[in-house]
Amino acid sequence: MPTKIRLSRHGKTHRAFYHIVVADGRAPRDGRFIEKIGTYNPISNPAEIELDFDKALDWIMKGASPTDTARAILSHKGVMHKSHLLKGVIKGALTEAEAEAKFQKWLDEKEAKIAASRSGIDEKLREEKKAAHDAEVQVNEERAAVYAKQKAAIIDAKVKAVQEAAAAKAAAEEAAAAAAAPAVEEPVAEVKVEEPVAEVKEEKPVAEVKVEEPVAEVKEEKPADEVKEEVADTKKDEAKTEK
């Protein structure tokens, strides 16, 4: 059995962490291995890969066969592409300088893609973090509103209970006072009988009342002879009086 480059699982449950190892193909996955050449952490975003490039390339050139996951990791790091160029140098298709230039060009392009991908990931992470923060703020506001509503309801219930207790106490005191006081008959209210209004006779207007003026008595004039006689008699009486 040829030598294999594989992943050896470590870490906790649901928190897997792998070692990249070179082992005998007959050995179990997490069993004995020949050499550890790197680590792989798939939980982080992006995944973290640490690889000893020269050792990995040396084992590939010696004929070690990587598993599918290990091959993807080695291709991502450029080990498989570098081994392909070196095989071309061995066959005489390329010189070492040309192989090195092509590999450097490929490495630069790969790093640019990784940087762009990481920038997009970082932007996406920022957006996700902002969205999560906004959602958390909204949830907190909704919880605060519900709490305020519940608190107001509790306060209203307490105020209502106090008011009802006060009203019940006042009613009980009034009932006790009414039971202790003697019964007093209320006087019958006098019923006033309104007298009929006398009919008012209409008075005649002043202008219509005629007032008859009294007729002055007309004294009859005495004859002159009688007057003379009365005067003479009066003088005689005065003379007698003086005597």
- Residue 101 dihedral angles phi and psi, to the nearest 5°: -65, -45
What's the pLDDT score for residue 238? 65
Q: Of 15, 63, 10, which Cα lies nearest the Cα of 38?
A: 10
Crossing angle between the packed helical segments 79-91 and 96-180, to the nearest 10 degrees? 170
Q: Tell me how far apart the alpha carbons of residues 167 and 51 are, in angstroms, rounded to a whole number.
A: 84
The secondary structure element, H or E, covering residue 128 is helix 96-180
- Interval 145-170 mean pLDDT: 90
Radius of gyration of the chain (CA): 69
What's the pLDDT score for residue 177? 83
What's the pLDDT score for residue 58? 92
Listed in sequence order, the residues at least 6 apart from 50 whose beta carbon sits closer than 8 Å to its beta carbon are 38, 39, 40
Is the Cα torsion angle 148, 149, 150, 153 positive or negative in sign?
positive
Mean pLDDT over the full length of the chain: 80
Higher pLDDT, 157 or 228: 157
For 30-89, the pLDDT digits (tens) are 788 899 999 999 988 778 899 999 999 999 998 899 999 999 999 999 999 999 999 888
User: What is the strand order of the sheet 3-12 is part of?
Assistant: 48-51, 35-41, 15-24, 3-12, 65-66
Contact 20, 32 (CB under 8 A): no
pLDDT of residue 207 exceeding 80: no
pLDDT of residue 219 exceeding 80: no
Confidence category of residue 226, pLDDT binned at 50, 70, 90 = low
The amino acid at residue 183 is A
Confidence category of residue 215, pLDDT binned at 50, 70, 90 = very low
pLDDT of residue 222 exceeding 80: no
Q: Per CATH, which fold does 3-78 belong to? A: S16 Ribosomal Protein; Chain: A; (3.30.1320)
Domain boundaries defined on the chain: 3-78, 95-170
The 3-state DSSP class for residue 73 equals helix
The 3-state DSSP class for residue 77 equals helix
pLDDT of residue 198 exceeding 60: no
